[in-house]
Structure 1
């Protein structure tokens, strides 16, 4: 068996439970596992945060974890999945969180992600976390306050993690929905003086894409946990996994809806930009036409010919000026009536 030197306390928590109550065992992780296994109906929960290869190898040797699963847990950046190795299976969750928009109203670059790998066996749970979300530690406190839930054994830990991860997904969708509503109100506001910057829309689309990469692959593992038979998952726990799977499906549908909304909003914003540009071009063209009237007349009379109409007439100059003014006023009135000015 591995010695205690494989399990530095700064990176690991090792706790044993029986009938939903924490056992007062101490010492090394190896000693805790030995005492827990000597007591019927107990299980051990080991939590690791970004462990080194040596630390993870020590835990793997203690519980006989499959080398491929251990490699996935060490390297991280895995796709959400469920892989079965005999009586033990590995479930990978991708955690996504976003602070409330009241704290970060700009909604730019605030989404953070992490990973939680859960090894589940008949009498043990090993969680390996990557990132700073601290999911396992808060769940441990929550479960210890509910012995009835903890009495379901390792499956209770797996369900609590899945439930927390999906709850975080729902919170992220609410925040994204608020951002989409703000952009929609700006795009379709009649009093707005500027267009919405496409970068804000693209930022939301990137965040939804990252959320989709966490949500969509997780649908199949949760369906399997709620319908298929696993040694460490009793039938009474499958109903809870079914509830989590239903909420995950809700998140997936919201992501698809939000993506369509953002595409429509972006198209509407670009269409309004095009309409505004056309209106500007009409106004510019109308003013150019008004300027062209005196320019044309002055250009004609600027030619050095001796025989031109009213060239030597005493009232020719004021008459030409009056004609220019009248022509400009008539053109201005026509443009105003047509909506170009």
Structure 2
């Protein structure tokens, strides 16, 4: 019997740049001229256009390049070596760093999945990373562990976007990611509202683990988006030579949306903390009520058990054993005592769970 061949694991570092490229575009005087062209000829074409006096820039979009890829790209685009080193790492906080005439931006992406659709609760919210290397005549965007649905159509519809140069693309990427934060926040708001209703509904059994899971994921989202606000402020305030007045206003709009998302996520975190405290208190009350009810029923059962134990000792000198109607009298006493205890406990509310 022939064995099934195992899938061959490809070493990404050995692939050419074209194999890890999402797209490669050339913009000339604010208009898209080329798309999906081979890597070296596109660079040569862009440089030829610059030599002719045109304002041209390249947008190269990559997916998880290796160190070898980045060394090649850094040489082709004359990228600062510190930027090239950072671009390979996929675990960076949102930030903006400037090296001479080049900027390096990191913006985290957020993906939300419904709790009912994931096996591992840690997959409810996943964060990826988008890095942007911006120079005078190029922008290189790098995706790590993330998709960017809807970005292509948005960029194609923005006719004036490329007139702002590479920073216009950087703004569009940042705005797209931050707008998605707000969409995730809307879903989380519904989730938190439903949990609040569940916790504060009378006589409702609470699954405290669901609240813990969502709080942990919201904390991950906070860690991913909170550092972006100071990074955007730094970008707007310290790079006027690279970002025009109109584009700075666009980035301020991104900052406003980021602050909205940040504040709402922080409020969700606080609300979930309050829900955990309330849930623990309610569970404790439910357990106390259950124990009280159990104790009441045990108390009712103890009385007939005690009477039966006394009359089951079988001593010879027990006059009650020879009573003609003793059996029925003892049963009646048991029933009356249990009934009396039940009425008493019922009035006291001890039998309510």
Q: 2:186 aligns with which of 147, 156, 174?
A: 174
Q: How far off is 1:157 after superposition?
A: 0.7
8 A contact 2:94–2:107 mirrored in 1: yes
5 Å-filtered alignment, 1:157-168, equals 157-168=169-180
Is the Cα–Cα contact under 8 Å of residues 300 and 338 in structure 2 kept in the other structure? yes
2:32 to 22, 29, 45: 22
Output one character per residue of 1:13-69: Cα deviation in whole Å (capped at 9) or x when no partner: 332213320125966233133124323332221222222323222221122212121
Say whether 1:10 aligns with 2:23.
no
Query: Which residue of the other structure, out of 192, 199, 206, is the alignment partner of 1:187?
Result: 199
Q: Check whether the contact 2:57–2:137 (CA below 8 A) recurs between aligned residues.
A: yes
After superposition, residues 1-341 of structure 1 pair within 5 angstroms as: 8-12=17-21, 13-24=23-34, 28-38=41-51, 39-99=53-113, 101=114, 104=117, 108=121, 109-134=123-148, 139-190=151-202, 192=204, 194-196=205-207, 198-305=208-315, 308=318, 310-341=320-351
Contact 1:21 1:144 (8 Å CA) reproduced: no
For residue 259 of structure 1, report the CA deviation from its aligned partner.
Answer: 0.8
Deviation at 1:282, TM superposition (A): 1.5
Measured in 2, the distance between the counterparts of 1:242 and 1:274 equals 48
1:224 to 1:301, Cα distance in 2 relative to 1, 3 A? same
Task: Give the SS at the match of 1:57.
Answer: helix
**SS in structure 2 opposite 1:162?**
helix
* CA separation of 1:93 and 1:300: change in aligned 2, threshold 3 A: same
Question: For the structure 1 residues 316 and 104, does the alpha-carbon distance in structure 2 shift closer, same or farther, using more than 3 Å as the test?
Answer: closer
Task: Give the Cα separation in 2 of the matches to 1:191 and 1:278.
Answer: 14
CA contact (8 A) 1:20 1:144 kept: no
Contact 1:19 1:147 in 2 (8 A): no
Could you tell me which runs of 5 or more consecutive residues in structure 2 were left unpaired when the two chains were aligned: 1-13
Task: Report the count of equivalent residues.
Answer: 332
User: Which range is displaced more, 252-261 or 36-45?
Assistant: 36-45
CA distance in 1, matches of 2:77, 2:118: 47
TM-score after normalising by structure 1: 0.87
CA distance in 2, matches of 1:150, 1:82: 21
Give the SS at the match of 2:179.
Answer: helix
How does the TM-score come out when normalised to structure 2? 0.85
**1:133 is paired with a residue of what secondary structure?**
coil
Q: Which runs of 5+ in 1 are unaligned?
A: none
Separation in 1 of the partners of 2:309 and 2:89? 79
Displacement of 1:164 in angstroms is 0.6
- Going from structure 1 to structure 2, the CA distance change for 1:200 and 1:320 (only over 3 Å counts) comes to closer
Q: Does the CA-based 8 Å contact 2:118-2:124 persist in structure 1?
A: no
RMSD of aligned residue pairs (Cα, Å)? 2.7
The Cα of 1:304 is off from its aligned counterpart by: 4.7
